[in-house]
Amino acid sequence: LPSADLVVYNIGVLVTFSQGPLPGGAARDPGRAGIIRGAGIAVRNGRIIAVGSSESVRSGFTAERLVDAGGRLVTPGLVESHTHLVFAGSREDELEKKLLGYTYREILEAGGGIYRTVRETRARSAGELAALALPRLEALARHGVTVVEVKTGYGLLPEEEMKLLEAIHLLGEMAGPRLPLTIVPTLLAHVVPEEYAGRRDEYVRLFAEQLVPEAAGSPWRPVYVDVFCDKGAFTPEETMRILEAGLRHGLRARIHADELAYIGCSRLPGRLPIDSADHLEYLPPENASILARAGTVATLLPTSMLAVFADRKPPVEALRRAGAVLGVAGDYNPNNMNPSLQSAIDLAVYLLGLTPLEALAAATVNAAHSLRLEGHGRIVPGAHADLVIWDVDNYNKVGYEWGYNRALHVYAKGVRVGGECGG
């Protein structure tokens, strides 16, 4: 018999998402989710080598580790496509300020918010920042995450942003073979630094012409360049200049768009190849088709909506009707300290009206597509062995049972990295 490192059998409901990213209403259709009842999975060298009936997989391989899923639900590992994991300090006093009536943007424009975190982050070394991020990464994994995008953005000045790219690299080294999550580094243009107040054009040029090439040529080369395109951050024109520089240097592009106001950011996917546009609370419904046509994933961040006390919701039904691929992400950042992508899934259901299956697709196969990682987020032979065994027996109970960790076992590349019980 062929050998496997791991066989998971007696899976009650296996959601494979074998068809790949599911646009619009297709993500709500159980017939498109590649569901197998009574399933088994075999894993070797961190990859899935077989998916089939529980009996055929169990009897088809000699397994080093044999795991009885007990009739439970199994899905791909969760794909966290938007985080700001690397930072120092804390902003709990700003929560109180927001509740006393100040808005996120007012706090930012008064030198708090991102600027406050920048000051605290600049005071730490790359190694210290990686050490601060490691328990956050562990918490993400405990709640089911096997792939995580990690942004810079709290350094702003070129040498400080380079330090953050190094910190993301060190985070991966610290995680090591014990925690083999897939980390996708992103260079983020977050806000104009205070040092460049009144000289924003100079800063945009510095970012595009100096930082982007330096980052792209460094040992900590990012996969993505991202821009916070919004009122109080960068304009669409500035965003274009930075993204074009990234694309010229072989990086891929994603954006924060239409979170705090609409200034035209969600029109950019029609002009540049942008893999994901995130937030979108102020997306004009008529722009939904721009994202759909451009193949840009519309990534919803519902926990972040709570954390900024957003007064709008993204136009989900317009996006769905336009046939856009919906993503859901957790947006861990010092303004939104929730390490569970399951919370974002729960709120996507209760606040944004996604079905549990649609939210699961959004946080797995569709999120992987937003990172163009087609070998993650689905359970097919050849894909990475990223799996969650849930403590429920069907996908509708993810969402129905909510607000706590329902991941029982989490495997990244075949290694157990999280879940509720030990061992």
Which residue lies nearer to ligand NIG by CB, 84 or 252?
84
Q: How far apart are CA 233 and CA 221, in angstroms?
A: 24
Both structure tokens of 366: 């569709």
Shortest distance, CB of residue 151 to ligand NIG, whole angstroms? 8
Nearer to ligand NIG, 85 or 389 (CB): 85
What Cα–Cα distance (Å) separates residue 176 from each residue in 79, 172, 390? 19, 6, 25
C-beta closer to ligand NIG: residue 146 or 303? 303
Report the residue closest to ligand NIG, judged by CB: 335
Nearer to ligand NIG, 24 or 236 (CB): 236
* Least distance CB 54 / ligand NIG (angstroms): 41
CB of 117 to ligand NIG, least distance (A): 5
Least gap, CB of 120 to ligand NIG (angstroms): 11
Q: Which residues bind ligand NIG (CB under 6 A)?
A: 84, 113-114, 117, 228, 256, 259, 304, 331, 333-335
Least distance between ligand NIG and beta carbon 145 (Å): 17
Q: What are phi and psi of 70, to 5 degrees?
A: 60, 30
Q: Which residues of 14-52 are buried (b: 16+ CB within 10 A; e: fewer)?
A: bbbbbebbbbbebbbeeebbbbbeebbbbbbebbbbbbb
The nearer residue to ligand NIG, 275 or 331, going by C-beta atoms, is 331
Task: Decide whether 18 or 81 has the Cβ nearer to ligand NIG.
Answer: 81
Q: Measured in whole angstroms, how far is the alpha carbon of residue 1 from the centre of its chain?
A: 39
What is the smallest separation between the CB atom of 280 and ligand NIG, expressed in angstroms?
Answer: 12
